[in-house]
Amino acid sequence: MKRKLKLKSYVLPSLYVFLFITTFCITLVVSNAFANKATNDKNDQTENLDYVSETIIDDSQEVINETPKMIKPYTNEKVAIGKYFYDYKAENKKQESSITYHDNTYIQNSGIDYILEESFDVVSVLNGTVTSVTTDDLLGNIVEIKHDNNYVSVYQSLSTVNVKKGDTITQGQIIGKSGTNEIDKDMGNHLHFELYIKGQIVDPTLYIDKEISVMATEEQTQNQTQEIQEQNTNNQTTNTNEEE
Alpha carbon distance 27, 29 (integer Å): 5
Host H or E run for residue 120: none
Alpha carbon distance 231, 149 (integer Å): 27
Torsion of CA 26, 27, 33, 38, to 10 degrees: 170
Of 70, 170, 75, nearest to 114 by C-alpha is 75
What pLDDT is attached to residue 39?
60
3-state DSSP assignment of residue 71: coil
pTM score: 0.63
Q: What φ, ψ does residue 14 adopt, rounded to 5°?
A: -65, -40
| Length reported for the chain | 244
What pLDDT is attached to residue 178?
97
Q: What φ, ψ does residue 94 adopt, rounded to 5°?
A: -70, -35
Series of mean pLDDT values for 10-residue runs along the chain (244 residues): 54 62 67 62 54 48 67 97 86 78 80 96 97 95 95 97 97 97 90 95 92 58 51 46 47
Domains of the chain plus CATH, in order, are: 80-213 (2.70.70.10)
| 29 Cβ contact list (under 8 Å, min separation 6) | none
Sign of CA dihedral 12, 18, 24, 29: negative
| 154 Cβ contact list (under 8 Å, min separation 6) | 111, 142, 143, 144, 145, 193, 194, 195, 196
b/e map 113-143, b = 16+ CB within 10 Å: bbbbeebbbbbbbbebebeebeeeeebbbbb
